[in-house]
Homo-oligomer: A and B are copies of this chain.
Amino acid sequence: MPRSIFLPLLRELSSAYQAFEVYSSAHVRSLSLTPAQFDIVATLGNTPGMSPKELGEKTLITKGTLTGVIDRLAAKKIVRRVASPDDGRCQIIRLTSQGEKLFARIFPLHVAHMERVFAGFSPGDLEGITASLRLLRTAFVAAHVSTKP
């Protein structure tokens, strides 16, 4: 078992994610949103809205955190909460018209900002890296599940 070889992998995973965060969040902050707020706006854009549960699954924000993030976006009039007609426990979070305008303005800017990172990569590179990441995620999820039951 070459134990020495997976510790550098974990360090690189943390470093790569950290570098992504630094690069991405500096831009998002320059647009007057926090990274979590941007994720919510980006996820709600071009949709009829969705429940906090679904939003949390897509953005990987846990429900306790999500309440606060939505509170702050609602205070800025970027989203609003609508009661679900079907289920009294559910809400639907929607962009307001102001939120839609914000999304239309900043989402393309941020995509362009991120695209610059990959200027030197071929499609094959990108697919290879994506496959590596998928493999990693799958391994962590499988390992986590196997500790639970």
Contact = CB atoms under 8 A, between A and B. Distances in A.
Given A133-B16, A137-B16, A10 B114 contact: yes
A19 B126 contact: no
Copies of this chain in its oligomeric complex: 2
Which residue, A121, A127, A130, has most C-beta atoms of chain B within 10 A? A130
A96 B141 CA distance: 35
Interface in A88-131: 111, 114-118, 120-121, 123, 125-130
Contact of A135 (B60, B129, B147): B129
Interface of A: 1-3, 5-10, 12-20, 22-23, 26, 60, 111, 114-118, 120-121, 123, 125-130, 132-137, 139-141, 143-144, 147
